[in-house]
Each structure stands twice: as structure tokens, then as C-alpha cells.
Structure 1
Amino acid sequence: MKNNPKTRYPLRLEESYAKNIQKAVKEIEKVSLYEFDKYLAPMIDDKNIVNDSNLINDGLFDAASKLIRNAQTYFLGILQNRTAQKIVRKHINSVNAFNKSNVNSQLSARGINPLQTEKWLDSYVQAKIAENISYVTNIRDDYSKKFEQVIYRGITEGKSSNEIREELVHQAGMSSDKAAFIARDQTGTILGQMNSERQKRAGFQAFRWSDSGDERVRDSHRERNGKIYFYADNPLLPGEEYNCRCVAEPVDDEELLEESIDLGLSNQEEHAVKTYVSSEAYKLNDKLRNGYQLDESDLKLIDNLDKALGKMTNYDGEVTRSMFFDSSDDLVRFANNYNLNDVVQFPEYISTTKDIYSEQDSLRFVIMSSTGKDLGSYNKSEKEVLFNRDAKFIVKDRYLLDGKPFIVLEEYHE
């Protein structure tokens, strides 16, 4: 199954969407500068008017108000709602066709019939069209407000026409950048949501996260790259977070069997492991760490997770755990709890990794594991090593490396 078609990101469609919006922005900029240069700039630079405060109040502001009204009318004409709708509809329909073709090629390679009727699609597309029209017209409306503010502020502060003109050009540049942001953000979101819906309806239970491979990939997404996530767990989807070009590669049952080693886990135990590696881990560990009351579902999860961990192999070697803090004071207070030869105990499960979770962490634990449970024995793509509740460690070393504090722990067994 290695030759299955990959999930593709429609970069050219994204770029075309951005250019179409930016074309309208450029026309708005062109009109605004033409009107300003022709009707207001000469008055601003006329020394007779500048030196006569009455003329400034009665003449210049009247001319500015007329210019602003006329220009804003032109803006509405250049980027009408129906123009925005045309740009948006073309883009979303193109992304839809691109993704449907891509998914059908993936299905065909696996001997699965291509998707035909998609009753869910129409309402989704209409909602996304309405949403994107508002984003595009907001660019026009925001520039219109900024145009008015820049001119009135410039006159009030006695700025030259060149200074005001430069601000107008700057505002147009910001609008163009916003168009590029919207194109990238919405292309990723729409692709990700369409792709996941089609994969689920085609019978895929899971997907493998695949990042775009460039230097702009955020750390949290680079950490997800290559990992398998189950749709039943309602995970974060590639493309859903802002400016994300990651995609979801479908994982079929055959691939799941290849990835998983049979540990004899019951359905409940397997579900507990999947639940833990999702966002539920943070909620459960917060309760355990702080001694909060556990409800029935928490107790059931703990029971099945403990049983599952008991069937997994131990990891013998070095693992790390990245910690993050909002302030240096919080970091110092935390680090002061770990002195040489102290024995520390954690009431929660302790998640670690065989490599490094993030190079941007505030503090890093280096832990010598002997009984940490290797989740890679359950799923080969997992690098997590999990220590059970109430695990004890002894502090073996503390040091700074390139300004970052490191705390070395070793499992402690009485």
C-alpha cells in the first residue's frame, strides 16, 4: 500500500485566491490615491490655505469630507458583495473539486468505489461561501475606515500630502497582506474539513498527520507529523488552525494492523490508551495532580489505562519531558522544588518522549527510564513513554545549558 496517492495541498488555488482579492485591493488603492492626489493634495500643500486657519476649517475639511464620501462610494463599486461572492464561490468550488479528485484517487488505489452523492456538501459549501464573503468585504470596509482616519488625522496634525499619501499606501499594503492571510487560512481550513468528512464517509477510521515540510511549520504540528489519530476521538484536524498547510493522509485498516502490535488489549483498554493520548490526558492529569474529585468516567479510564500499561513493554533508556512557563518567576519557583538527591513523587501520569518535544521549552527533564511504558509497543508511530501514577524519582543532577535549566531524574525504587 506504499504507492497510495498522497493527500495534496492546493497551493496554486490558494495563491490564485489571494491574487484575486489583492487585485480588488489594488484597484481600491489606485482609486484612493488618484482621488487624493487630484482633489486634496494640492489644497494641503497650498501655502495660502495652510497659513489661513479659517480656510483650513471651512475649505480643507469640506474638501476632505467630499473626497472621502466619493472614494468610499467607489470602493463599494469596485468590490461589491456580488464581486466578492464570485471570487469566493470560484475558489471554494475549485478546492472542492481538487479534494474530491484527490480522495477518489486514494479510494481507487485501495479498490474502494469513488464517492458519488454527498448530501452534506451543499450546506457546508454555502456556509463557507457566506463566511468568506464576510472576510473579503471586511478588507474593503476596514480600508475604507482607515482611509477616512488617515486623511482626517493628517489634516488635523498638519501633515504634508506626501506623508498622508505614504500612510494610505501603507494601509493598502496591510490590506493586501490580510488578503494573503485569509487565502491561506481558509484554503487550509476548507481542505482539512472536506478531506476529513470524505475520509470518514469512505470508511477510514484514522489519519496520519503530514506537515508541509517547510520552516514555517509550527512546533506543535511538527511534533504531530507522522502520528496516527483516530476520527472517533474528535482530534484537531490538519488545516484547522490558522495558517496551516498540513494535511491528513488516510490510514486504512490494513495499515492500522501493520502499525499496531497485538498486545492482547481489550476494547476498553485500547480505548483508554487512545483517549489518554488525546487532549483528555490534560484533564485527567490535572485532577490527579491537584487532588480533585474523580467522576465515574475518570475512574473507568484510570482502571483500563492501568491495565493497558501493564501489558506494554518497559522502556530502558533516556527520555525527556519539556516544561513551559509564562514567566521567569514561575520557572524559578518550579525549579526550586527539585534539589539534588531529593526524592519526588508524581500523583499523575507522566508523559515523556524518546526524543525532544520542543526545542523552545523553558525547562527540560532528562529522565533515566527503566519501567516507563513504551507506547511504541502499541503503535509504532508513537514516541511517548508513559510513567504510571505515583511514580518516584530521585534528582541526580541540575545544570544550565545555553541558558536553559535541565533537571536529571532517575527512577527511584525503595
Structure 2
Amino acid sequence: MIANPETVPTVRTMLDKYAEALEPWARATVTRMLAEVNQRDARQWAEQAQAMGLALRKELHQAPTGLAMRRLMEEQVTLITSLPREAGERVHDLVIKGLEDSVRADEIAREIKRSGQVTESRANLIARTEVARSASTLTQARAEHIGSEGYIWRTSGDSDVRHSHKQMEGKFVRWDSPPTLSDGTTTHAGQIYNCRCYPEPVIPDL
């Protein structure tokens, strides 16, 4: 028996409503994650503060991280709530394709079930990427506030580092000019999917 296309809008509507219902949870979850990343970044700066002048340490406490936090919040909530909507679009496409190709309903059902695995995989990708991106973005906000013009690109130093990122190890990068890597991507360290690199700020002498 072929799936009834009239059921597809219902599935998509339900998933759209689920995405809307997810927003408060997504916002609370992202808030906690950003707070943890912000505290970790602040601690790392504090550990280096002993080597800094008193004026510079005071400036670090006044860094305008709030704007960066709010921007990250909205971007990450949008990413999380997009997952069920994307699943709904995939279900719709699978059913329509099944009708066009006369695919049996049980085969369509198997593909739909596999959609959950695709969504889970993307959810994990978002989580890994956004934690690293948040850390890099907050480091940039604090560094620029105290006059840093750029950073040294650092990788995690293991065999999983992408070739294009390995080529960036030890290079100076300006905050206002993210580099275009050899694979064609333009990004700062730690600010692209699955990137475990990080920026080592170059602090001006005061």
C-alpha cells in the first residue's frame, strides 16, 4: 500500500509545532551552554592575568561580551529548532518520491526511520561545533576589547586535524580578516563545523 500524500502536511504541521515548542527549551539549554563556555573562557584569561598589567586586567572585566553572547544565542536557538523542520521536509520529500516511483509504504517507512538518525547526527555536529565556535567568539570579543589585532592559529595537534587547518598552525591571523583556507572555506580558528582549533590571542604590550 502506497502512503497517502494527504497525511504529509499533517506530519509536517506536527513537526513545525514541535519546533515552536522546542524554542523555550532550546533557549534555556543554549543559555546554560554559553554561560559555561563564558566562565571557562574567563577563567583562562584570569590564569594569564598575572602576567598582565593591572589596567589590562581591569579592561578584561569590562569586555563587551554581551553582544557576542546574544548573537550566539539567537543563531544557536535557530539551529536547534531547525532540526524537526528539516525532518518534516525530508519526510515530505520521501513520501512524494515514493509515490512518483511506486515505492512500497514499508520501504518509505524505513527511509523515514533513518531520517531520525540523520537528525541525531546533525544534532551532535551542531553541539560540537557551537561549543567551539562560542569559545572562539568570546575569546575574540575579549581580545579585541584590550587592543589585540589578531591571534596565532593553533590546532589540537593530532592526526584528525584537517589538512587545510594543519597548514594554518602557528600563523598569525587578524581578527578583522578571517583567512580563506586551502579547502576554500573562510573561517577563524574554531568557528567552523567540527573544528577543534583555537585562537591564541596576541596581546599588545601596555
**TM interval, short-chain normalised:** 0.7 to 0.9
Alignment partners' CA distance in 1, 2:172 and 2:137 = 17
Q: 2:65 aligns with which of 113, 121, 141?
A: 121
User: What does residue 246 of structure 1 align with?
Assistant: 197
- In percent, how many aligned pairs have the same letter? 22
Report matched runs for 1:2-13 at 5 Å: none
Higher helix share: 2
TM-score for the superposition, normalised by structure 1? 0.41
Q: Which has the higher contact order (CA 8 A, sep 6+)?
A: 2
Q: Which range moves more in the overlay, 199-208 or 187-196?
A: 199-208
Query: Alignment partner for residue 134 of structure 1, among 78, 85, 94?
Result: 78
Post-superposition offset of 1:209: 2.0
1:74 Cα offset (Å): 5.5
- Cα RMSD for the two superposed structures: 2.9
The alignment of Structure 1 onto Structure 2 pairs a total of residues equal to 193
Could you tell me which of 95, 103, 110 is aligned with 2:45? Answer: 103
For the 8 Å contact 2:26–2:81, the answer to whether it is kept is yes
> 2:171 maps to which residue?
227
1:247 shift after superposition: 1.0
Any idea what SS the aligned residue of 1:80 has? helix
CA contact (8 A) 1:103 1:199 kept: no
Residues 1:101 and 1:164: Cα distance change in structure 2 (over 3 Å): same
Match of 1:200 in 2: 144
Measured after TM superposition, the shift of residue 226 of structure 1 is 2.5
Give me the whole-angstrom Cα distance separating, in 1, the residues matched to 2:193 and 2:46: 27
- The change in CA–CA distance for 1:109 and 1:166 in structure 2 (over 3 A counts) is farther
Is 1:176 matched with 2:126? no
- The structure with the greater share of residues assigned to strand is 1
Q: How far apart are 1:210 and its partner, in Å?
A: 1.2
1:84 counterpart = 2:26: yes
Q: CA deviation at 1:223?
A: 2.0
In 2 relative to 1, CA 227–234 (structure 1 residues): closer, same or farther, beyond 3 Å? same
Q: Greater Rg, structure 1 or structure 2?
A: 1
Q: Take 2:93 and 2:199, find their aligned partners in 1: how far apart are those partners?
A: 44
Structure 1 gap ranges (5+): 1-43, 45-55, 255-414
Cα contact 2:23–2:77 (8 A) shared by 1:
yes
> Per-residue displacement from partner, 1:308-351 (whole Å, max 9, x unpaired)?
xxxxxxxxxxxxxxxxxxxxxxxxxxxxxxxxxxxxxxxxxxxx
The residue aligned with 1:158 is 102
Contact 1:207 1:249 in 2 (8 A): yes
* CA gap 1:110/1:142 in 2 versus in 1, 3 angstroms: same
Match of 2:6 in 1: 65
- Gaps of at least 5 residues in structure 2 are 180-187
Provide the C-alpha distance between the structure 1 equivalents of 2:125 and 2:137, rounded to a whole number of angstroms. 18
Q: Which amino acid aligns with 2:190?
A: G
Separation of aligned partners in 2, 1:89 and 1:243: 21
Cα contact 2:8–2:91 (8 A) shared by 1: no
* Residue 110 to residue 148, structure 1, CA distance change in 2 (3 Å): same
Residues 225 and 74 of structure 1: CA distance in aligned 2, closer, same or farther (over 3 Å):
closer
Stretch deviating more after TM superposition (139-148 or 150-159): 150-159
Structure 1 residue 147 and structure 2 residue 99: aligned? Answer: no
